[in-house]
Amino acid sequence: MSAVSESQDIEQATAAIQPPDNKTRRYDRQLRLWAASGQNALEASSVLVLSSSATLTAVLKNLVLPGIGHFTILDSAVASPADAGNNFFLAGPSSIGKPRAQEATSLLRELNDSVEGEAILKDVGEYLKTDEGRAFISSFSLVITHNLRKDTLDELSRFLWAGFNNPPLMVVRSAGFLAEFFIQYHEQCVAQPHTDENVPSLRIVRPFPALTKWASELDLDSLDPTEHGHVPFVIILVKAVGEWKDSHDGKLPSTMPERKEFKEHVVAMRKKIDEENFDEAEAQAWRIWSDPPVPNAVQSLLTLTPLTTSMSPNTPNAIFHALLQTLNAFVAAPNGPGCLPLSGALPDMRTDTESYVKLQTAYKERAAFEKARFKELLKEGFPALAPTIDGEEIDTFVKNAHHVRVLRGQRWSEWDADKEALASSLSSSPRETATHLALSALSTILNKTPDGSTVTVEALRTEVQKLVGEGVELPEEIGSAIGELARAPTADLPNTAAFLGGMVAQEAIKVITKQYVPVNGYCVIDMVDMWTGTICG
Amino acid sequence: MATEEALSNGNETDWSDRYYHIDQILDKPGPRTDPSFLAGEEVKRFLRETCKILVIGAGGLGCEILANLALSGFKDIHVIDMDTIDISNLNRQFLFRPKDVGKSKAIVAAEFIMNRVPGVKVTPYFGRIQDKDEEYYMQFNLVICGLDSVEARRWINATLVHMVDPDEPESLKPLIDGGTEGFKGQARVILPTVTSCYECSLDMLNKQTAFPICTIANTPRLPEHCIEWASVLEWPRVFKDKKMDTDDPEHIGWLYKTASSRAKEFKIEGVTWSLTQGVVKNIIPAIASTNAIIAASCCNEAFKIATSSAAYLNNYFMLIGTDGVYSFTFEHQKRDDCPVCGGQAITVNVSKEWTLERLIEMLVEKQDVQIKKPSLATPKRQLYFQAPPQLEELTRPNLEKTLSELVDDGEYITVTASSLPFDLTLQVKYD
């Protein structure tokens, strides 16, 4: 059986095999999550953070370790004794009095030789008022702030929001045990959401010719018991559906009794009680009534109007929208399958090697055929854009066509001006909304007195009331949140910073790789009762 | 650097304003703080001078935990880890550098923390948790676990539950446990004998995919089947008693080559080095960000418990970060029939026609038991013993016998396994 000879030593047998290089080995545990495509996107990215607080160095740590391309810390502050006490990326008391960004940059760079990092000792507020500063800030893939002064943050968010090509902005706020973050983006198109591990449609109800041929030529009665026990469940179901349709005016089983009857029909097809392939066919029968041509969530994307009319390759998401529109054309094409293209994936099933490989080949060939059709439609619909699109990007899109997601966002703090929305959220998600409002109130007060000396429960409550409107009664959750903020208005706690460092980096990785689904709205965190929640999504 | 104020605290490494951030929390209560919280110097002194905390694991979670604890003001930290540093740790275990590959995780991590955070003492132990006895564990106020092994967690959990003496409140050591897998993770607080323990929640673990041996031997379909064939069947056939070392690139190389040739023979695609390694080592994806979140949750609980500055988690925080941020905080319930903290026997309903072997197979499979190589006895007789060899041989014929020949209806069976520090009591009920 084995091609490896019997009398061997390992060294000889493996002489020609090269283990993976050091880079692949270093990143092995994350490549299993986002693969080489995600890694390439990370390595091509550059991230700007506007402060070297404990929270933002924690975020950077979790971006430098997996290997982003470049980071810049823009921060004019000098490390204080308090900074030296709560920031792991300062060298303790010896950093005190030195430029904070510079100290942090050198300790962060130690984490990964392949990441570039620089410190720019400028004041964000002033830099933002210059053309040079604005051009610099918008040249990054992503900008992240933490407890940035409200005035500056407003200016920054308006500036970045104004340009469709500008990078997303992540806004992080925290005090003591409470925190939140928000990602400002116009649109996030997620080609690989990794949200559903189930293999999508197997086309059992819309079989392609190879499946139909196999099922119709199959004479179950003529098979010997071993062969009978190895017929793949897909073929059993295609055959059973065909038989059902023949006796039901071409209709599929739809009512509960019909579904039950269909399953009984499948079970009756088996020869012996212990044929696992037939058990599998019965268990997978749901695929027959849960296989729409296009899943609802994707259907609404097929006719989604892009946010901009520009379809140049440099316009963010232009390619994704071209692919979505092509998908729409593919589904509508009279000579097509009338559904999303086949992914080509096949789950494992009870069958013999030969049948499985044959079935797998049939799925792969069909998927390749439909992908070729898709590419033709893409070329017809977008003659200028199509040649610029990377083949791998099309492959990924088609493979994930059943799961792709589009998120649309809003400008930072726009929500805080919508009194009606705040009041409604306060009653539907009181603790999350209360914490968000308390943090907004704190930002307003700290804008005037950054040292926190004027933060009191009363002052916070007044600000919260202003936000939601005078008539709105504040729930008790407001008291819990503002009391906690009044206790520690300027505390960047090591554990809260580390928690945010993980959360914000995770979301940054999703935005950069376009894999997994980023937060849409305000993600609020309470580390007293230890919960998180997302509002305004 | 030391100011007069710091010196008066008896701590020469604390500079003025070192704890500016944390002291905002320790100087006054919040609206949800328990009235027993003693704000001010006393709680700071306990945290910074008295409290002794044990960290189990200096890997992905452990590195993060050590850094967070040190910055939070814990100054007497112990850490245990039996592993050495591998290059694949460097994408997240941020206290290690390429020059450290091959060295002890516990020792390198301890040195790093002591260099970076002045005044913190970290005492490493390069070895197994099982090397230490109850007296050792008794010296700590808190234990935090950042482990990737179910077996080690079960061991420390059972040990801490066993240590509780109702007359000695100090004998109850809160156990904070964290775990991650890719973008998912959980953190929990276990008060041994008071809350649900690790063993109580064993059935929440994901079941490992196991491929039937007949598929591996006769009808491979997936690349994984070919890899299992190489490691489970071919390795012992070709190398006899030679132990496979999944950290040895030559061994992985041999498995890869062997699996590839089988895959080629069956026209199966997709055997790669990475998949081979993933299957034989049962590799769980791991990233810095999830570890940071979970470790921070664990340390936040340790800080809250040590200082009473805020209520602590009751008792389970679960996180899924794949689709936005989803988390769920809930109270996991104690199990009355938990073999570690429950006291009641586990009832198993079986047919009396079953053989003893079938009962053992069921125990190995059962999600809330998960016992490897169990030995079984009733008060009256030895049913089956895995060791020593003479006893194994003597009891082996029982495997073929039906249960009704060996055990009465309602009788109790004691189950033991060398990997577990406790016995399991089953009550057999016939259908």
Both A474 and A525 in one domain: the answer is no
**Residue A437 falls inside a structural domain:** yes
CA distance A250 to chain B (A): 34
Please tell me the distance from the alpha carbon of residue B92 to that of residue B396, in angstroms, as a whole number: 47
Q: Which residues of A touch B91 (CB under 8 A)?
A: 26-30, 65-67
Q: Average pLDDT for residues A199-212, to the nearest whole number?
A: 94
Q: Based on the number of CB atoms within 10 Å of its own CB, is A408 exposed (0-12), middle (13-18) or buried (19 or more)?
A: exposed
The dihedrals phi and psi of A436, each to the nearest 5 degrees, come to -60, -45
Chain A residue at shortest CA distance from B101: A26
Contact A88, A57 (CB under 8 A): yes
Residue B203: predicted pLDDT: 87
Residue B365: predicted pLDDT: 85
The dihedrals phi and psi of A73, each to the nearest 5 degrees, come to -105, 120
Distances from the Cα of B80 to the Cα of A180, B66, B108, angstroms: 34, 11, 12
CA distance A228 to chain B (A): 15
Q: Based on the number of CB atoms within 10 Å of its own CB, is B404 exposed (0-12), middle (13-18) or buried (19 or more)?
A: middle
Q: Which residue has the tokens 């190995």?
A: B364
Please tell me the distance from the alpha carbon of residue B171 to that of residue B167, in angstroms, as a whole number: 9
| pLDDT band for position A311 (cuts 50, 70, 90) | confident
> What amino acid positions of B are annotated as catalytic residues?
214
Please tell me the distance from the alpha carbon of residue B317 to that of residue B179, in angstroms, as a whole number: 11
Our CA angle for B254, B260, B261, nearest 5°, is 95
Q: Which of A189, A144, A109 is nearest to A409 (CA)?
A: A189
Both A431 and A515 in one domain: the answer is no
Q: Which of B192, B203, B146 is nearest to B169 (CA)?
A: B192
Order of strands, sheet of B175-181, starting from the edge strand that comes earlier in the sequence: B121-126, B76-81, B52-56, B142-146, B175-181, B184-190, B316-320, B326-330
Please tell me the distance from the alpha carbon of residue A248 to that of residue A240, in angstroms, as a whole number: 12
Tell me B230's DSSP state. I
Contact A53, A87 (CB under 8 A): yes
CATH of domain B213-281: 1.10.10.520
Q: Based on the number of CB atoms within 10 Å of its own CB, is A162 exposed (0-12), middle (13-18) or buried (19 or more)?
A: exposed
Q: Which of B59, B47, B170, B61 is nearest to B104 (CA)?
A: B59
Q: Average pLDDT for residues A280-303, to the nearest whole number?
A: 94
Contact A524, A435 (CB under 8 A): yes
Look at the pTM and tell me if it is higher than 0.90: yes
Strand locations in A257-372, DSSP E? none
Q: Compare CB distances from A32 to B250, B252, B278 and report the shortest one's residue.
A: B278
Contact B354, B403 (CB under 8 A): yes
The dihedrals phi and psi of B125, each to the nearest 5 degrees, come to -130, 120
CB–CB contact B262 A2 (8 Å): yes
Please tell me the distance from the alpha carbon of residue B338 to that of residue A277, in angstroms, as a whole number: 37
Residue B12: predicted pLDDT: 64
Both A57 and A140 in one domain: the answer is yes
pLDDT in tens, A3-58: 444 445 676 777 677 889 999 999 999 999 999 999 999 999 999 999 999 999 99
* Mean per-residue pLDDT over chain A, rounded: 95
Q: Which residues of A touch B87 (CB under 8 A)?
A: 22, 25-26
**What's the gap between Cα B50 and its chain centre?**
27
Residue A315: predicted pLDDT: 87
Instruction: Output the tens digit of pLDDT for each of chain B's 431 residues.
Output: 334 344 344 466 789 999 999 999 999 999 999 999 999 999 999 999 999 999 999 999 999 999 999 999 999 999 999 999 999 999 999 999 999 999 999 999 999 999 999 999 999 999 999 999 999 999 999 999 999 889 999 999 999 999 999 999 999 999 999 999 999 999 999 999 999 999 999 988 877 778 889 999 999 999 999 999 999 999 999 999 899 999 898 999 999 999 999 999 999 999 999 999 999 999 999 999 999 999 999 999 999 999 999 999 999 999 999 999 999 999 999 999 898 998 778 889 999 899 999 999 988 888 888 888 899 999 888 999 998 899 999 999 999 999 999 999 999 999 988 877 788 889 999 98
Question: Which amino acid belongs to residue A20?
Answer: P
CB–CB contact B323 A517 (8 Å): yes
Contact B376, B360 (CB under 8 A): yes
The reply to whether B206 touches chain A by the CB within 8 Å rule is: no
Please tell me the distance from the alpha carbon of residue B329 to that of residue A104, in angstroms, as a whole number: 34
**Cβ contacts of B54 within 8 Å, gap of 6 or more:** B77, B78, B79, B80, B137, B140, B142, B143, B144
Residue B10: predicted pLDDT: 46
Please tell me the distance from the alpha carbon of residue A250 to that of residue A244, in angstroms, as a whole number: 8
CATH 3.10.290.20 at B346-430, yes or no = yes
Q: Based on the number of CB atoms within 10 Å of its own CB, is B380 exposed (0-12), middle (13-18) or buried (19 or more)?
A: exposed
What residues does each domain of chain B span? 19-206+286-330, 213-281, 346-430
Has residue A2 got a pLDDT over 50?
Answer: no
The dihedrals phi and psi of B256, each to the nearest 5 degrees, come to -60, -45
Residues 2-41 (A) with a CB less than 8 A from some CB of B: 2-4, 6, 8, 10-11, 13-14, 17, 19-20, 22, 24-33
**What's the gap between Cα B228 and its chain centre?**
25
**Residue A182 falls inside a structural domain:** yes
Residue A3: predicted pLDDT: 42
Residue A7: predicted pLDDT: 47
CB–CB contact A498 B289 (8 Å): no
The number of folded domains in chain A is: 2
Q: Compare CB distances from A82 to B1, B20, B304 and report the shortest one's residue.
A: B20
Both A74 and A123 in one domain: the answer is yes
Please tell me the distance from the alpha carbon of residue B431 to that of residue B422, in angstroms, as a whole number: 28
Both A142 and A180 in one domain: the answer is yes
3-state secondary structure A244-265: HHHHCCCCCCCCHHHHHHHHHH
CB–CB contact A498 B299 (8 Å): yes
Q: Average pLDDT for residues A324-344, to the nearest whole number?
A: 96
CB–CB contact A357 B291 (8 Å): no
Chain B residue at shortest CA distance from A351: B219
CB–CB contact A8 B1 (8 Å): no
The reply to whether A114 touches chain B by the CB within 8 Å rule is: no
Q: Which residues of B touch A66 (CB under 8 A)?
A: 91-92, 287-289
Please tell me the distance from the alpha carbon of residue B363 to that of residue B339, in angstroms, as a whole number: 13
CB–CB contact A517 B274 (8 Å): no
Both A76 and A175 in one domain: the answer is yes
Residue B5: predicted pLDDT: 43
Whole-angstrom Cα Rg for chain A: 29
Both A432 and A523 in one domain: the answer is no
Q: Virtual CA dihedral for A452, A457, A459, A462, nearest 10 degrees?
A: 140
Residue A314: predicted pLDDT: 84
Please tell me the distance from the alpha carbon of residue B329 to that of residue B411, in angstroms, as a whole number: 39
pLDDT in tens, A244-258: 999 999 999 999 999
- Would you mind telling me the total number of residues written for chain A in this entry? 537
Instruction: Say how many C-beta atoms besides its own lie within 10 A of residue B267's C-beta.
Output: 13
Please tell me the distance from the alpha carbon of residue A299 to that of residue A421, in angstroms, as a whole number: 28
Residues 215-234 (A) with a CB less than 8 A from some CB of B: 230
Q: Which of B105, B320, B340, B303 is nearest to A498 (CA)?
A: B303
The yes-or-no answer to whether B19-206+286-330 and B346-430 have a common fold is: no
Contact A396, A403 (CB under 8 A): no
Range of the structural domain that residue A436 is part of: 415-487
Q: Average pLDDT for residues A393-404, to the nearest whole number?
A: 96
Strand locations in B87-240, DSSP E? 121-126, 142-146, 175-181, 184-190
CB pairs under 8 A between A and B: 298
Q: Which residues of A touch B16 (CB under 8 A)?
A: 81
Has residue A537 got a pLDDT over 80?
Answer: no
The dihedrals phi and psi of A520, each to the nearest 5 degrees, come to -120, 105
**Residue A294 falls inside a structural domain:** no
Query: In the CATH hierarchy, which fold is given to the domain comprising B19-206+286-330?
Result: Rossmann fold (3.40.50)
Both A89 and A180 in one domain: the answer is yes
Both A40 and A139 in one domain: the answer is yes
The reply to whether A91 touches chain B by the CB within 8 Å rule is: yes
The reply to whether B3 touches chain A by the CB within 8 Å rule is: no
**What's the gap between Cα A448 and its chain centre?**
37
The reply to whether A43 touches chain B by the CB within 8 Å rule is: no
CATH number for the domain harbouring residue A513: 3.40.50.720
Q: Compare CB distances from A353 to B182, B266, B290 and report the shortest one's residue.
A: B266
CB–CB contact B67 A10 (8 Å): no
ipTM at complex level: 0.95
Residues 159-218 (A) with a CB less than 8 A from some CB of B: 176-177, 193-195
pLDDT in tens, A442-498: 999 999 999 999 999 999 999 999 999 998 999 999 999 999 999 999 999 999 999
Our CA angle for A315, A316, A320, nearest 5°, is 105
Q: Which residues of B touch A67 (CB under 8 A)?
A: 91
Both A469 and A504 in one domain: the answer is no
Distances from the Cα of B263 to the Cα of A15, A365, A459, B258, B355, angstroms: 20, 20, 70, 9, 37
Beta bridge partners, B376, equal B384, B415
